[in-house]
Homo-oligomer: A and B are copies of this chain.
């Protein structure tokens, strides 16, 4: 191992290898060239190059690549892409690649496949691995069971320290996955009864038995949800926690980094869901699948838009009389929609940080309403003056400004509390908050502008 990064400019990137060269290496079936190609690139660069191949080329590539390199690509890929890389391969080749992955990733990939493909691959995998995968794939994604790995570093009470040290020092590939785990002590029923600290391992006599130095282990149930795991790892400095079944038997170990990664992924998914991107869309997926997924959200949006637009429809006479109002209708609904979305964003963040709960609805509403009054007055004055100057009609300015001011208060109030209420009633606030908010702010905005215009009609026409 040399010191590559110290010698380079911090921003220097790897040699810029065009995708064409991967394609030509593949056409020539130049295996050494392909190995050298992936050796040069970082994991994410490698994956990027592979996702730009056609599905057929990708299958060909994975089939001829050595399993370890293929496994590295699968490891780097988001789950959906990982499945795509493996599922069309012959079952034995797929099983060969799967066998080299960690049990958590095996379960994630197998869990996303069709039943039939999954069974074909499991049949070809090492029976021990296949058994672990079946077990792990049954747990929910965002629980300790779904996040743990099945490989655990276990010993008996009667084992000695030197036995642990011997296995710590082992060069076996399988043992690699145990790195960073503490040695756990289990009883004859496979129940974890203790954990051994590195410190006591190093400072005690090598012939001492583990029972003399172990301390009781903190364990979590397979059903423990992600949020509780985050709290636990926040509170303690453990690198991993043993996970137990309902009967207390050891099922696996959930690591701090698996929990952090799941948290990161969830927050990314939430931000995408708010735009109606559900289920890890990547551009390497088939067009019609992506199109259908996006449409399912957009077409629900049409209905909401029609409901909001029906408010305008009810006031066609007012509009016909003062056509200038039409210019400001979208502006009022859009501006207050933005204000409301800011409140949604802050609530989502505070929910994630655990700073608000459903008990705080009133407090949040009070805070948001105050900000809505301040910002509503400022924005209402600004846009009211624009309308006045633009159309030379003070009453038009009054109508538009007043409507925006009131609608801003409505929008931030709803934006602030809707995510909290949705969460209380077991709905996903990331998906539903946005469309709900937009519909209400559009309807209220149109209604306020048009009914104020109807009220001030004589002045609007007289000026």
Chain A residues in the interface with B (C-beta under 8 A): 1-6, 10-11, 42-45, 47-48, 51-52, 76, 78, 165, 168-169, 179-180, 198-199, 202-203, 215-221, 223-225, 228, 231-232, 234-235, 237, 239, 244, 248, 256-257, 260-261, 263-264, 267-268, 270-272, 274-277, 281-284, 287-288, 290-291, 294-295, 297-299, 301-302, 305-306, 308-309, 312-313, 316, 319-320, 323-324, 326-331, 333-335, 338-339, 341-342, 344-346, 349-350, 352-357, 363-364, 367, 370-371, 374-375, 378-379, 382-383, 386, 390, 438, 442, 446
Contact = CB atoms under 8 A, between A and B. Distances in A.
Contact of A301 (B3, B11, B202, B335): B335
Given A4-B218, A76-B234, A78-B353, 11 more contacts: A1-B215, A3-B219, A5-B220, A257-B257, A260-B261, A271-B345, A282-B355, A288-B374, A294-B339, A295-B375, A308-B330
Nearest to A42: B231
Interface secondary structure of A, over-half rule: helix
**Interface hub of A10, A313, A316, A333 (most chain B Cβ within 10 A):** A10
9 contacts: A3-B217, A10-B221, A257-B260, A302-B379, A302-B386, A308-B331, A320-B320, A330-B334, A330-B442
Contacts of A276: 338, 341-342
Contact of A198 (B168, B267, B327): B168
A277 B354 contact: no
A302 B48 contact: no
A203 B5 contact: no
A342 B271 CA distance: 11
A168 B335 contact: no
In the complex, the 5 A-B pairs of residues with the closest C-beta atoms, listed nearest first: A271-B271, A44-B354, A275-B345, A264-B264, A169-B203
Contacts of A220: 5-6
B45 A283 contact: no
Given A294-B339, A312-B327, A42 B305 contact: no
Given A305-B335, A330-B329, A375 B234 contact: no
A327 to B, nearest CB: 5
Contacts of A354: 44-45, 47-48
Given A295-B379, A330-B333, A350 B282 contact: yes
A268 to B, nearest CB: 5
Nearest to A434: B338
A380 to B, nearest CB: 11
A82 to B, nearest CB: 12
When all copies of this chain in the complex are counted, the total is 2
Contacts of A284: 355
Nearest to A242: B6
A382 B302 contact: yes
**Interface hub of A168, A220, A298, A442 (most chain B Cβ within 10 A):** A298
A6 B313 contact: no
A223 to B, nearest CB: 5
B324 A316 contact: yes
A28 to B, nearest CB: 24
A160 to B, nearest CB: 14
A320 B322 CA distance: 9
Given A346-B277, A354-B45, A371-B287, A382 B299 contact: yes
**Interface hub of A217, A223, A287, A371 (most chain B Cβ within 10 A):** A371
Contacts of A294: 339, 342, 371, 375
B370 A168 contact: no
A422 B70 CA distance: 33
Contacts of A5: 218-221, 224, 228, 232
A42 B234 contact: yes
A356 B49 CA distance: 10
A52 B438 contact: no
B1 A228 contact: no
Contacts of A370: 287
A334 B305 contact: yes
A319 to B, nearest CB: 5
Given A51-B355, A302-B383, A323 B320 contact: yes
